[in-house]
Amino acid sequence: MASNQNLADQGQQYKTAGLTKEDQNINNTPEDISHAAQGHKANLSNPNTSEASKKASEKALKELGGEEAFYGKQGKGE
């Protein structure tokens, strides 16, 4: 029987099969990164989320670029 990680890897393989490198990165626009950062920042201030979830959001927010991940703080579009 396959492990859950192997199933997840297989799902990712099927999800991206046949897409060009540019198409695979379609959700990496500044707006998309900013929206992801907003979700993680909201999770940090939500009293109904677990500490584990908040730690995961802190890590994800750092990986996204911290405060620089927010689109409005990049000086673009203003």
**pLDDT tens track for 51-65:** 999 999 999 999 999
Check if the beta carbon of residue 31 is closer than 8 Å to that of residue 71.
Answer: yes
Specify the number of domains making up the chain: 1
Check pLDDT > 90 for residue 78. no
pTM confidence score:
0.59
33 and 69 Cβ atoms separated by less than 8 Å: yes
Structural domain contains residue 14: no
Residue 61 lies in a domain: yes
pLDDT at 71 over 80: no
The pLDDT score that the predictor gives to residue 72 is 73
Cα–Cα distance measured from residue 4 to residue 29, given in angstroms and rounded to the nearest whole number: 30
- Is the pLDDT higher at 43 or at 2? 43
In whole angstroms, give the CA distance from residue 77 to residue 55: 31
Q: Which pLDDT band holds residue 17 (cuts at 50, 70, 90)?
A: low
With respect to residue 46, please indicate whether it lies within any of the assigned structural domains: yes
**Summary mean pLDDT of the chain:** 76
